[in-house]
Amino acid sequence: MDIKEKNITIQGEYPIGTTITYDDEKKKSPAVVIIMGTGKLDRDGNGFGFHSDIYKSLAQAFAECGYISARYDKRGTHASGGSFNSAGLSDLTNDAISVIRYLKSLPYVDENRILICGHSEGAMIATLTSEKEDTAGLILLGGAGMCLKDALYYQNRLMAEELPDMKGVAGAIMRRSFDLHKQLEMIDDTFRKSKETAKERVYVKGAAMPAKWLREHGSYTSEDFAEILKRYDKPVLAITGKADFQADYRKLDAIRAECHISCFAPEGLTHILRVNDGDNSILNVNKLYRRLVKEPINAELIKMIKDWLDDLV
């Protein structure tokens, strides 16, 4: 198979730097829009000091299944226009819709068979997009049925659970400085501040955060995302690993009874879609990720996605 890629610019509200991955432009094929997670990584899943190729690898896997894919830079980053700091969740959803509509306009794309694959925050964006634009299915990786506030709660609770076992001077310092109750209060206060300001940013302990983005994320609960997925009448594949520090696999319980939703929580699968077979501690997450990104995306995860796609035919 001769997999090809071309870089283009899609005109949404602002220009959207996009990579199209495809095999054959002479026939109509189904397609997938890949929506990335939070932050300023590029459309491949790479940034300064972090080279994961998450989204490039997913695009290659989709191409092997006969799917065209589009992955793109988030608003205000890399080759996409607009302002990263002023973009809200609604803006990110609108950008995803622009990419979907562009694919629908291509003569070699089957406009009735366009899926969305969202990872991390991309799973939230994909869920919201499903209500606004007709699509043929969703693939949600590391974030299905979970809101941003609950994700932040989850990460802090994991830290609180692990701190008692952290050894040495570093452990003693962390235990003195980390207070779970105060951390959760700070998260609540951050979202409250975002609702009470008309400014572009809010400041938490001196750190600037985008107010509109927080405010719009704060308007959704995990229950809201679960209900949207329940109402969606197309196939959904939801995968969150049991070794994921950023998303709680137990949120899948709220949607797994739905006949159109297939839920999986693989052992050892981390948020960066690699399997960790060693020490899995959120306290060592940076070191862990630096090691795991040297490995390819988990082959069993790719097989799970491919098998699900095969069943759609």
Structure confidence by residue, pLDDT tens digits, 150-172: 999 999 999 999 888 777 776 67
Buried b (16+ CB within 10 A) or exposed e, 259-285: eebbbbbbebbbbbbbbbeeebbbbeb
For residue 169, tell me if it sits in a domain.
Answer: no
Angle CA 129–113–71, to nearest 5 = 55
For residue 35, tell me if it sits in a domain.
Answer: yes
- Domain span including residue 35: 4-147+222-312
SS3 assignment, position 167? coil
Alpha carbon distances (Å) from 142 to 177, 186, 222: 29, 24, 14
For residue 215, tell me if it sits in a domain.
Answer: no
Cβ partners under 8 Å of residue 158, min gap 6: 245, 282
Angle CA 181–183–185, to nearest 5 = 70
Closest CA to 28 of 114, 115, 136, 108: 108
| Residues of the chain scoring pLDDT < 70 | 170-171, 313
For residue 104, tell me if it sits in a domain.
Answer: yes
What pLDDT does residue 178 have? Answer: 83
Q: How far is CA 174 from the centre of its chain?
A: 29
For residue 64, tell me if it sits in a domain.
Answer: yes
What pLDDT does residue 168 have? Answer: 78
d(CA 275, CA 277) in angstroms, rounded, equals 6
d(CA 140, CA 250) in angstroms, rounded, equals 14
Domain total in the chain: 1
Task: Quote the DSSP letter at residue 86.
Answer: T
**63's tokens:** 């191409």
For residue 60, tell me if it sits in a domain.
Answer: yes
Q: Other CB atoms closer than 10 Å to residue 299's CB: what's the count?
A: 10
Q: How far is CA 215 from the centre of its chain?
A: 19
What pLDDT does residue 227 have? Answer: 98
Query: What is the residue whose two structure tokens read 């040297």?
Result: 294
What pLDDT does residue 163 have? Answer: 87
Q: Are 264 and 273 in contact (CB under 8 A)?
A: no
For residue 19, tell me if it sits in a domain.
Answer: yes
SS3 assignment, position 125? helix
Closest CA to 187 of 202, 176, 172, 177: 202
For residue 133, tell me if it sits in a domain.
Answer: yes
Closest CA to 275 of 309, 233, 310, 304: 304
Q: Are 241 and 297 in contact (CB under 8 A)?
A: no
Cβ partners under 8 Å of residue 82, min gap 6: 13, 14, 75, 76, 91
d(CA 189, CA 186) in angstroms, rounded, equals 5
Q: The domain that contains 87 carries what CATH number?
A: 3.40.50.1820
Q: How far is CA 169 from the centre of its chain?
A: 35
What tens digit of pLDDT does each residue of 61-96 get?
999 999 999 999 999 999 999 999 999 999 999 999
What pLDDT does residue 221 have? Answer: 98
d(CA 98, CA 310) in angstroms, rounded, equals 27
Q: Are 16 and 97 in contact (CB under 8 A)?
A: no
Alpha carbon distances (Å) from 112 to 12, 106, 247: 21, 12, 31
